[in-house]
Amino acid sequence: MGSKASAEPARRPPRPVKIVIAGGFGVGKTTTVGAISEIRPLTTEAAMTSVAAAMDDAADVPAKTRTTVALDFGCITIDETLKLYLFGTPGQDRFDFMWHDISRGALGALVIVDARRVDACYPAVDYFERIGLPFVVGVNLFNGHLDVDLTELRWALAVGDEVPLITFDAREKLSVRDALLAVLRRTRERARARAAEHATG
């Protein structure tokens, strides 16, 4: 007789799912990946030069001395069936040519917003709308609270009601987890809606 262990079916590895973390310059993308990754995050940060600071308009984030120049990478196992691979995009407009490669094969995206600099996230919102990738807008609570109304913020971002608009703290693991789960729910809802359209079409 075989051992009990050999009689048990082999456990399948978790399904890999790619999520993009995007947004403007200095909104908290690297912090978000680092807060939740179960591995030491791979970052491609470089010291900001005076030339880069002028190009990237760092006046609103004077304390920022380093910036992502390629991508951030981390991962988190949700449960025994699902593992998220997180790819953070660079926030500067001059690196937007990389977004296509980073977004290829992604299930969804989290667009991070600094409510004090809403215009910084417009390129990311426009990009994901253009390529049809489902996304969630997450407002990073830098000071632990939000000073603007979410309804007004939705209007300023010009995103429809179907796009979830949430708040979260990029420094807190559980808060980041909830934001990522919102992305998964959004992708599931989009998939179900498309399936229903095909069934009735």
User: Where along the chain do its domains lie?
Assistant: 12-200
Please answer whether residues 179 and 36 qualify as being in contact, where contact means their C-beta atoms are separated by less than 8 angstroms: no
> What pLDDT does 76 receive?
96
* pLDDT surpassing 80 at residue 70: no
Task: Look at the alpha carbons of 160, 161, 162, 163 in this order and tell me if their dihedral is positive or negative.
Answer: positive
Residue in the structure block whose two tokens are 């998220």:
84
CATH topology of domain 12-200: Rossmann fold (3.40.50)
pTM: 0.81
Q: At what angle do helices 173-200 and 29-36 cross, to 10 degrees?
A: 100
Q: What is the mean pLDDT of residues 85-113?
A: 85
11: CB partners within 8 A, 6+ apart = 80
More confident residue, 53 or 15: 15
Q: What is the mean pLDDT of residues 89-108?
A: 80
**CA–CA gap between residue 102 and residue 142 (Å, rounded):** 26
Q: What is the mean pLDDT of residues 157-186?
A: 96
Q: What tokens appear for 75 in the block?
A: 């991962």
> What pLDDT does 11 receive?
79
